[in-house]
C-alpha cells in the first residue's frame, strides 16, 4: 500500500486550507507511485465547506487508520469537530505513527482539542491567536507563517497551507522534487522561512 498523506475534511472546512495542499502535494505524489494524497472524513457523504463548495471524501477514517501525514484545515468546521468524537478519536489514534502532523489556519484548534499539542509550540491565523492562547496549554507563537516543533507543523493563515505543503514536499522528496512542483503550480514567490523550534 502506498504511503498516505491524509487531508481531513469536514463540514465548514475552509476550502483553500485543503485545496492548496491537495494541489501541491498531489503534484508531488503524481511523480511517485509510493505515495498517495487522499481526502479523509468520518463518512463517504459529501462535505459542504465554508464557502459552499461540496466535496466527496475519497476515504473514511475506518479506511485509513495509520496515515503517514495528516493535514487538518481550519474554518468554522475545525472548532465544530471538537464536538465530534469520531474525528477527535481518529486523530488521537492516527497521530502516534505519523511522520508529520500538520494544520492550516484554525485547524490548530482541532489538534489542540485532540490533545496533540501539549507542551509544544503552535501558531494559527493572526486573528485567532488570542483565542487559541485562551484554550490551550501549548505555547502559541505569533509573527510566523509556518512553525515546526518536532513532527508537528502549524501554518498561520489560509494561503500558508501552500507554503507549508511546499516545505513538506522538500522534506519528503527533496529539493529537485520541490523545484518540479513549484514549476508545475507556477509558484514563483519564495516561501517564507519555516520557523523550527
Which positions are catalytic? Answer: 105
Following CA atoms 72, 74, 80, 83 in sequence, which dihedral angle do they give, to the nearest 10 degrees?
A: 30
The count of C-alpha atoms lying within 13 angstroms of the C-alpha of 170, restricted to the half-sphere facing its C-beta, is 12
Q: How far apart are CA 50 and CA 17, in angstroms?
A: 10
Please enumerate in sequence order all residues whose Cβ is within 8 A of that of 190, keeping only pairs 6 or more positions apart, or say none.
none
Q: How far apart are CA 23 and CA 184, in angstroms?
A: 10
Amino acid at each position: 500500500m502506498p504511503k498516505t498523506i491524509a487531508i481531513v475534511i469536514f463540514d465548514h472546512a475552509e476550502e483553500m486550507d485543503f485545496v492548496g495542499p491537495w494541489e501541491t502535494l498531489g503534484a508531488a505524489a503524481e511523480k511517485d507511485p509510493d505515495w498517495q494524497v487522499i481526502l479523509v472524513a468520518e463518512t463517504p457523504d459529501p462535505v459542504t465547506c465554508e464557502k459552499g463548495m461540496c466535496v466527496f471524501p475519497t476515504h473514511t477514517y475506518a479506511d485509513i487508520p495509520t496515515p503517514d501525514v495528516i493535514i487538518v484545515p481550519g474554518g468554522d468546521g475545525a472548532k465544530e469537530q471538537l464536538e465530534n468524537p469520531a474525528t477527535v478519536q481518529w486523530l488521537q489514534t492516527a497521530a502516534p505513527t505519523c511522520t508529520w502532523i500538520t494544520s492550516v489556519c484554525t485547524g490548530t484548534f482541532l489538534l489542540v482539542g485532540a490533545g496533540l499539542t501539549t507542551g509544544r509550540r503552535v501558531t494559527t491565523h493572526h486573528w485567532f491567536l488570542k483565542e487559541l492562547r485562551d484554550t490551550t496549554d501549548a505555547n502559541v507563537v505569533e509573527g510566523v507563517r509556518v512553525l515546526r516543533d518536532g513532527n508537528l507543523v502549524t501554518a498561520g493563515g489560509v494561503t500558508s497551507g501552500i507554503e507549508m505543503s511546499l516545505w513538506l514536499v522538500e522534506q519528503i522528496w527533496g529539493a529537485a522534487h520541490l523545484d518540479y512542483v513549484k514549476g508545475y503550480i507556477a509558484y514563483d514567490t519564495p516561501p517564507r522561512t519555516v520557523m523550527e523550534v
